[in-house]
Structure 1
Amino acid sequence: MGVISAAGASALRPGEDAVALVVLAAGQGTRMRSALPKPLHPIAGLPMVSRVLRAGAGADPAQTVLVVGRETRDLAVRLGDAPSLVSVLQEPPRGTGDAVRCALDAVIDVAWIVVLYADHPLLLPETIHRLLNGARAARARVTVLTTFLPDAAAYGRVDRDAAGRPVRIVERNDDDPARRVGPTEINSGMMVLDAAWAREALARVRPSAATGEYYLTDLVALAVTDGPADGAWPVATVDAEPEVALGVNDRADLAAAEAVAQDRVRRRLMLGGVTLVGPETIFVDEGVAVGPDTTILPCSTLGAGTVIGAGCTIGPHAVLVGSRLGDGVVVRSSTVEEATIGDGADIGPYAHLRAGTEVGPRAHVGNYAELKNARLAAEVKVGHFSYLGDVTVGAGTNIGAGTVVANFDGKHKHQTTIGAGAFIGSDTVLRAPVRVGDGARTGAGSVVTRDVPDRALAVGVPARIQGQRGTGKGTSDAPARIEDGAATAVSPLPPAPSPLPEDA
């Protein structure tokens, strides 16, 4: 055992009633049957241990210590929180009491130690805050977070004396089955310890005759044996909702915890003015923000880092990850990853916006269009069946069906620029790097390999410039018609005929 990493001690200046948070994450998690360490399995998009650390922040700790094992020794680094965490290795793993004893080697001088478990992802900051306040009010040596369950199952039962005071925690194998019938008060595992007393008492905890492990719960009986503290009963309890007792040991537990976490997130959104149609089919990661009057339709997924404005319509069957959407955006049955979509834009159905894509206000991206690192200005229209990669498109430009920006030459990606008010004909291929100017046009099926000047028309394979509108050089301002690879001017349409008389 030993300290793996530690925050600078000089930066830690505890007050008279300061708290250290100890999170136990040394368990092997063999029942998960996974190469991923158990504490890193996600619940609503967050690793379980991250959720526990967030809950522990409710105690406003002066220091946080992570007790890790052989499989989890790099946990702090993988979380990206190494500078703010002290990691202590428990090797070999010899139970929860030994784990806290290992942590004490790194804990600074504090009044209270809050002990949490990395595989209890449903803890909330307000619950831990209330637990700590209960310990401070009672001035108890041990304060246990308890709850009532209809079936005590494998949990330790809280045993009380005739006066109703907690005196010990009885494990299932040592208990009278008759005492575990019906609603039973059980130990969730979370505790607050008087730090000075715990340092001495943990040295007196003896290993279990059955397992050889040291149990943290033995501190309850030890505290009672030591007698009242400052005239107060040495053990206190704080009750909590039953879900706090849900520890994750296998994939079934993981699914149960995910269901509770999703219900919490969905309820938060609905109370904030968001409509969820078929909420049980919608999955939202922790931290996703959605504006009021937005509607999320069935079978949609909102991944971590997503921010959605007000008055949007998302889904059905939409997947959004790490993306930012303005107000009034519509995303129909499409996938949006690490993209930005401006106010009033319309996406899908069946479009795919990939990382780096920016869609401007009131733009439209239609079905089966794929955009990667594409920047579309306001009111650009990408109808359907197109691929736009590494491209910038000016305001008001129309991209015809089947357009492909060929951005990769086999070794490198290249940039394409399309100006404002341009018209890219159906099935055009733009071989990057290339620039299409403002107001320029390409004929259907053209392969553009050279820059197209402003207001020019490019046609053919490879495309050639047929002239520029408004210059008197080869074309007029009339629309162009493509015949056998050549462009000819199309006469303006005649005036519309007069309407027929009503009795015709």
Structure 2
Amino acid sequence: MSKKFTIILAAGKGTRMKSKYYKVLQPVCGKSMVEHVVSQVEAIHPDAIVTIVGHGAEAVEETLGKRTKFVLQSEQLGTGHAVLQAEPLLGQKEGATLIISGDTPLFTAKTLNDLFAYHEAKGAKATILTASAPDPTGYGRIIRDSDGNVVKNVEQKDATPEEALISEINTGVYVFDNQALFKALHQVNNNNAQGEYYLPDVLGILRDAGEKVAAYQMPDYTESLGVNDRVALARATRLMQQRINEQHMRNGVTLIDPATTYIDTEVKIGADTVIEPGVYLKGKTVIGEDCHIGTHSELVDATLGNDVTVTSSTIEHAVMHAHSDIGPNSHLRPDADIGEYVHLGNFVEIKKAKIGARTKVGHLTYVGNATLGTDINVGCGVVFVNYDGVQKWESKIGDHAFIGSNSNIVAPVDVADHSLIAAGSTITKDVPFHAMAIARARQTNKDDFWKRLPLAKDPDWN
């Protein structure tokens, strides 16, 4: 096969999106639209990828990094003019060039690869990627002769009533013989109402020169759906989500209700894991086998080992090792590292802390900037006081320690192995091995104090 090149059109501002963010950077299932396009293009291993940037050039370049080369279209003078900007990089190369828009996130590598193969098999100078649309309104129509050869591509406004009934549309994706493309682009004019240079005009120029123009009809029309506004963005997100969810289910993951399960593109999930409705799995989250993610949980760049249970909780940039559990209504914040067989109950918040194996933090507890050993019991209402108004301090709790309910651990302190903190204590000093620390006021009982209260004379209170 001849060399393959790709030009991605990403210069448009996207005014219909009504956003301060550039259109091709709008997210679909955790990645920007243009990143989806680049990922699929990379999968077919082209010899070069060139992205045409304009509005938001710096942001697009920062997003894609070194994955593509970039060319600036300083003036927005149409798609033909945009492609022509790549001539200094590609104009002298021999091979076939794919042209695709950066706002079409649903195209797959298989479709693009099939398009290249069809183009080469037909020996064409240009091949149009087409689709059969349920409603072709607004799209260019593909006109074929009785033998199935492409006669012309006619725009909606120029179509006759008979041509308007044709369902085969031009998706706006093409493969061209590279040198024929740039030669023809120099012949495109801007004699139209918008004063722009249109890429589809190249098809007519090649046809008039006696060159073959082919059309490959893709099997799945939905891949071709572009995104110009928020409605289309939601539609593309829904279709991408369906694709992602179905792939996970085929890989052995149970989604109780796929329609209300939201999984980003780069999430990985092990077999026999169950995901309940209303779950969001974002970023580069990795979930092991035999896990159970309960309803209304949100995981962001989280890592879960095998047999982990998450019940209606939030986990951000944190790790839970095998056989641990959390929730309901708890929160792991960045740099929380939860060991094997750890139990975190309801209303527990962990931040920048490491919890050793088999430790239990039952409920209503905050652990921040701390290292807890193994087999510790942390009672209800315990607070690790880690901030003095200027900086964060760290505390350490040894193995097999017992922290009574309603205690405050005022960092920095070290609580040794096998030590005990009495309930209600505020600990400000280190606790040695095998010691019990008590730091609370003595209880004083005032006998017959009830008789001194005004309520004592009220018969309803006696």
TM over 0.5: yes
Give the structure 2 partner of residue 497 of structure 1: none
Paired AA for residue 141 in structure 2: R
Where 1:349 maps in the other structure, the secondary structure is: coil
Where 1:31 maps in the other structure, the secondary structure is: helix
1:353 aligned residue (327, 332, 357): 332
Deviations 1:326-366, CA, capped at 9 Å, x for gaps: 11100000000111101110110001001100110110011
Give the structure 2 partner of residue 202 of structure 1: 185
Residues 1:123 and 1:350: Cα distance change in structure 2 (over 3 Å): same
Please, what is the CA RMSD of the aligned residues?
1.5
Distance (Å, rounded) in 2 between the aligned partners of 1:149 and 1:237? 14
Paired AA for residue 28 in structure 1: K
Shift of the alpha carbon at 1:208?
4.1
User: How many residues get paired?
Assistant: 443
Shift of the alpha carbon at 1:174?
1.1
Shift of the alpha carbon at 1:142?
0.6
Distance (Å, rounded) in 2 between the aligned partners of 1:340 and 1:234? 55
Shift of the alpha carbon at 1:76?
4.1
Paired AA for residue 178 in structure 2: A
Where 2:98 maps in the other structure, the secondary structure is: strand
Distance (Å, rounded) in 1 between the aligned partners of 2:158 and 2:267? 45
Give the structure 2 partner of residue 38 of structure 1: 23
Matched, 1:413 2:372: no
**Superposition pairs of residues 378-389 of structure 1, within 5 angstroms:** 378-389=357-368
Give the structure 1 partner of residue 200 of structure 2: 217
Where 2:334 maps in the other structure, the secondary structure is: coil
Distance (Å, rounded) in 1 between the aligned partners of 2:158 and 2:133? 19
Give the structure 1 partner of residue 164 of structure 2: 180
Distance (Å, rounded) in 2 between the aligned partners of 1:342 and 1:317? 21
Distance (Å, rounded) in 1 between the aligned partners of 2:362 and 2:338? 14
Give the structure 2 partner of residue 131 of structure 1: 115
Shift of the alpha carbon at 1:190?
0.7
**Superposition pairs of residues 397-476 of structure 1, within 5 angstroms:** 397-461=376-440
Distance (Å, rounded) in 1 between the aligned partners of 2:376 and 2:302? 24
Where 1:27 maps in the other structure, the secondary structure is: coil
Give the structure 2 partner of residue 22 of structure 1: 7
Where 1:98 maps in the other structure, the secondary structure is: helix
Shift of the alpha carbon at 1:166?
0.9
Contact 2:25 2:60 in 1 (8 A): no
2:443 aligned residue (484, 487, 494): 484
Where 2:77 maps in the other structure, the secondary structure is: coil
Where 1:369 maps in the other structure, the secondary structure is: strand
Give the structure 2 partner of residue 101 of structure 1: 84
Contact 1:220 1:235 in 2 (8 A): no
Contact 1:448 1:461 in 2 (8 A): no
Contact 1:25 1:66 in 2 (8 A): yes
1:59 aligned residue (13, 20, 44): 44
**Superposition pairs of residues 79-478 of structure 1, within 5 angstroms:** 79=63, 81-107=64-90, 109-181=93-165, 184-228=167-211, 233-461=212-440
Paired AA for residue 89 in structure 2: A
Deviations 1:55-86, CA, capped at 9 Å, x for gaps: 112331111111011x221144321x333421
Paired AA for residue 209 in structure 1: N
Where 1:257 maps in the other structure, the secondary structure is: helix
Distance (Å, rounded) in 1 between the aligned partners of 2:339 and 2:191? 66
Paired AA for residue 423 in structure 1: F
Distance (Å, rounded) in 2 between the aligned partners of 1:164 and 1:125? 26
Give the structure 2 partner of residue 4 of structure 1: none
Contact 1:169 1:218 in 2 (8 A): no
- Where structure 2 has 5 or more consecutive residues not aligned to the other structure, the ranges are 445-462
Distance (Å, rounded) in 2 between the aligned partners of 1:445 and 1:110? 78
Distance (Å, rounded) in 2 between the aligned partners of 1:459 and 1:208? 88
Distance (Å, rounded) in 1 between the aligned partners of 2:383 and 2:155? 67
Distance (Å, rounded) in 2 between the aligned partners of 1:270 and 1:195? 41
Paired AA for residue 79 in structure 2: T
Distance (Å, rounded) in 1 between the aligned partners of 2:185 and 2:406? 75
Paired AA for residue 161 in structure 2: P
